[in-house]
Structures are given as structure tokens and as C-alpha cells.
Amino acid sequence: MTFLAVIALHASAAQAGLPAIHLSQSEFAAQYGTIRAMEEAKETPEAPGLRKAVEDLAALQHRFPSRIKTRAGQLVEAEKDGRARVDGLYWRTLDALTFSAESAEGLNRIPDIMPKVGGELDASDAFGTIRKALDESKDEFASKLWPSERSAAQSCIDSFDEIPPAKRDAAIRFILQTAGIKKQPNSIEMLIVPRMAGPEGMTVRTMTGPLVIIGAGKYRGSDFDEVVLHEATHVFDTVAGTESLFGELRAAAQAANRSAFDVEEVPHTAMFLLAAEAIRLFVDPKHKDVGETFGIYARGLDRLCRVERPILKDLESHRIGADEAVKRIIDRRSPQFIESEAYASASSAPRRAFFIYGLSSRAGTGGWHRGATRSAT
């Protein structure tokens, strides 16, 4: 709620100009992202302080309770939903809170505000451990990793900042106009970290307003530019509330009783497609969707892409209006349609048909991030 209130103060009418996107780095966020990524990848760094930090984080994971309550109030249990799901949710929550603290000292405040993470995990233990891991790896990170990591992330930031302003504005305007977004933020703050565990982006709440964290990771050049626009689009979606193509798709999917996967991923796929198209139209005509290049679409979104791509093209070129686009997308996602297509391909590839059908009820496989400030980022 605080997040939305903060956003409302910064929101302005579309006529007031396009939102500026500010990219920056922080050594604290880079260090935390790196030790978490090392722990997730089961790396054993040679430097003793870094190794100790990774071991401490792994030991913390072993102390995670067997269930977690999500912000939406849903109880997720290891026995029913799988240990990996519970651990993933704990880490995502801890990551978001750590990034939002903005410094190692800032972590000390969290247990006072939130004594239990996810309703079960002792926050003093969790953030005490994270603080310890940061302290014991600080000097080695600063001397051995940060210089090269910082310049790698900086080259990503530079390549985005070097897009001529007119082209960048055109790309942002294309997304805002196609998605029918009128209420928008004045600016979007993004912190670029060299490495990050879990999905490669999240939006967190800080003392000074919302902050997008992006793990530069493997993304370079126009791929990185698309990731920045995609994350910015999540902020546009949040600020616009229900008054956007994404909000309307979400509402229409809900009204049609579609699966939780559809309610989340039908609008999310539109975000992927629009960000990629914006890069192609205004930055690099040879650009290929990040979702294709890095296999994100293949994790359950390619069917949605096939449905949405031609309809969005018609919307972009004003051949149809937003209402018609929403109607067509939801109609093409009807259970009857999915079933008939699955049956049609069942004769040649029955296993695949089953797989496609099964995916429609599996939430959260397609995105590269989940936010800490929203239920579906």
C-alpha cells in the first residue's frame, strides 16, 4: 500500500513528458547479488571470506521453515508444494528486503519492522546471517570481484544511456501508447547488479520510493536494453492500475475464470512482446526477443506469444482498438481452443500435447522475476 501511495505522488499526466529511466549501481547490492548467485550456483570460491559467506547463506537455507505465507495470504507448504518452492519464496522475500535496505546497516532495522519473514522465519536470525555473510566477504569482494564486475555492469548501463534520446523516447512512447497508459511515473530508478540469484529482476520498495533491481548477468547490448524496457513496463503497469491494456487483460482473464497462470502471464507476455518490438522498431531492427534468445518463452509462454503477437500487431497499427485486442486475446485463449489445438497435435505428438495442456495450470514458470511489492511482477 505504501508503495502505491508513493507512486501516486510521482504520477503525472501523459502530456507532462515521458518518464526518465535512471540506471545506477551500488557496491552493497552488487556484493549481495554476487554472494547469493554464488550460493545458488553452488560455487565454492577460493577466497576464504567469500567461501564462508556462501556457506553461511547455504546454512541459512537449511534453517528455512517448511512453510511460508505469501503476501497474498496463501500458505505454501514443502510437503504439498515442494521444498524448492518454499525455499524459492523465502529467498525471493529475503532478497527483496535486503535490496530495499540499501546498506548492510539498513538490514538491522528489518527485524523491528518484520519480526517473522513469511510468518515463520525468525528475521533476526535471517538478517543477522546475511549481515555476517556481507561483513566477512566485504574486503575480498571489493578487491577481487567488484572492479571487473562494476565495469561489466557499467558497460551495460552505458549502452542503454547511449541510445539517442529521441529513439529511447520513441520506444517508451510506443509501449505507453500501445498499452493505452495515461497515468505514468515521472521517472523510474533502476539499480543494475552484475549478478543476481533467482529471476533476473524485481521491483522493491525503498525509503525513497520504488526501485527496480536488474541482474545484468548475460544480457548485453539490445538484449539488456529490452530487459530495461520490460522492467520499466512493470512499473508502468503498476502505476496505471486497471487503466491499461495489461490491467484490462488481467481483469478479462479473471472475469472469464481463467487459470492463475493466465491471469498473470497473459498480460506479462504482452509486456515481453511490446518491449522487444519497441527495441526492434526504434533501437535495433535486427534485435531478437530476449524471450526467444534466452529460452524464457520456451518455459510456458510460446503458446501465448503465438496468440498475442498478431493481435498486438493489429493494435499497434490501429487496425483494431484496445477492447477488440483484449477480447480477441482472451477468446483465443479459451479452454475449448486450447483443448482443440492440443488434440489436433496429439496424433503426431501426444506427449507434447499433454505437456502443453498441463502448463496452463502451472503458475509462475514464464517470468524472469517476481516483485516484492506486487503479487505478480
In sequence order, the 6+-apart residues with CB closer than 8 A to the CB of 284 are 221, 222, 225
Q: How far is the CB of 362 from Zn ion (least distance, A)?
A: 17
- Nearer to Zn ion among residue 104 and residue 279 (C-beta): 279
Stretch touching Zn ion by CB under 5 A, among 93-101, 187-195, 311-319, 360-368:
360-368
Minimum distance, C-beta of residue 175 to Zn ion, in the bound complex (Å) = 13
Residue among 88 and 367 whose Cβ is closer to Zn ion:
367
169/171 Cα distance (integer angstroms): 5
Adjacent-strand bridge partners of 318: none
For Zn ion, give the closer residue by CB, 129 or 244.
244
Q: Which stretch binds Zn ion (CB under 5 A): 190-198, 250-258, 277-285, 361-369?
A: 361-369
The least CB distance from residue 93 to Zn ion, in Å, is 18
> From residue 308 to residue 347, what is the string marking binding to Zn ion with x (rule CB under 5 A)?
----------------------------------------
- To the nearest whole angstrom, how small is the minimum distance from the Cβ of residue 52 to Zn ion? 34
Give the number of residues in contact with Zn ion, rule: CB under 5 A.
Answer: 1
Query: What are the residues facing 116 on neighbouring strands?
Result: 122
Stretch binding Zn ion (CB under 5 A), from 67-75, 190-198, 336-344, 364-372: 364-372
Residue 174 or 236 with smaller CB distance to Zn ion: 236
- The dihedral built from the CA positions of residue 312, 314, 318 and 323, taken in this order, carries a sign that is negative
Measured CA to CA, the distance from residue 240 to residue 13 in angstroms comes to: 11
Least distance to Zn ion from the beta carbon of 369, Å?
Answer: 6
Select from 7-15, 171-179, 332-340, 367-375 the region that touches Zn ion (CB under 5 A): 367-375
Whose CA is closest to 157, among 188, 189, 192?
A: 192
Residue nearest to Zn ion (CB): 367
Minimum gap (Å) between residue 314 Cβ and Zn ion? 23
Least spacing, CB of residue 371 vs Zn ion, in Å: 9
Compare residues 45 and 367 and give the one whose CB is closer to Zn ion. Answer: 367
* Neighbour count for residue 362 (Cβ, 10 Å): 14
Pairing state of beta strands 121-122 and 116-117? antiparallel
Rounded CA separation 86/310 (Å): 37
Per-residue string for binding with Zn ion, 90-119, x by CB under 5 A?
Answer: ------------------------------
CB of 271 to Zn ion, least distance (A): 6
Instruction: Find the part of the chain contacting Zn ion (CB under 5 A) among 211-219, 246-254, 318-326, 365-373.
Output: 365-373
Residue number, 136 or 264, with CB nearest to Zn ion: 264
Binding segment for Zn ion (CB under 5 A), chosen from 10-18, 208-216, 278-286, 363-371, is 363-371
- Cβ burial of 18 (10 Å; 0-12, 13-18, 19+) is middle
Residue 370: CB minimum distance to Zn ion, A: 9
Smallest distance, Å, CB 360 to Zn ion? 19
Which residues contact Zn ion (rule: CB under 5 A)? 367
